[in-house]
Amino acid sequence: MDAETIKSLGFPIAATCGLAWYIWRVTRFLLTDLKASIEEMKDIVIQLINAKNDQSKVLSNVETRIAEVREQQRNIVSEFRMKKNG
């Protein structure tokens, strides 16, 4: 906006036009650029959740295997003690 526009319309009208243009630009940014960024972040979060779930499954499998090995060790020690005492 130039000085001629402000003189012909008046400052309140010119300021309102400028504010309307600013609101339009912000709304356009929110609906296009920001929405695309949010979608991208959503995809990243989904991938992170999937990776976390996969790691949880692996950890659960490791814990199960450790429990099995400990049980085998208890059985072996128990058998050894029975042979030693018997």
pLDDT of 86 higher than 80: no
- Look at residues 46, 42, 18, 22 and name the one whose alpha carbon lies nearest to residue 34: 42
Q: What is the pTM of this model?
A: 0.54
Summarize the confidence of residues 62-71 as an average pLDDT.
96
At 45 the pLDDT is: 97
Q: Which amino acid is at 22?
A: Y
Give me the chain's average pLDDT, please: 90
In order of 27, 29, 76, the CA distances from 32 in angstroms are 9, 5, 66
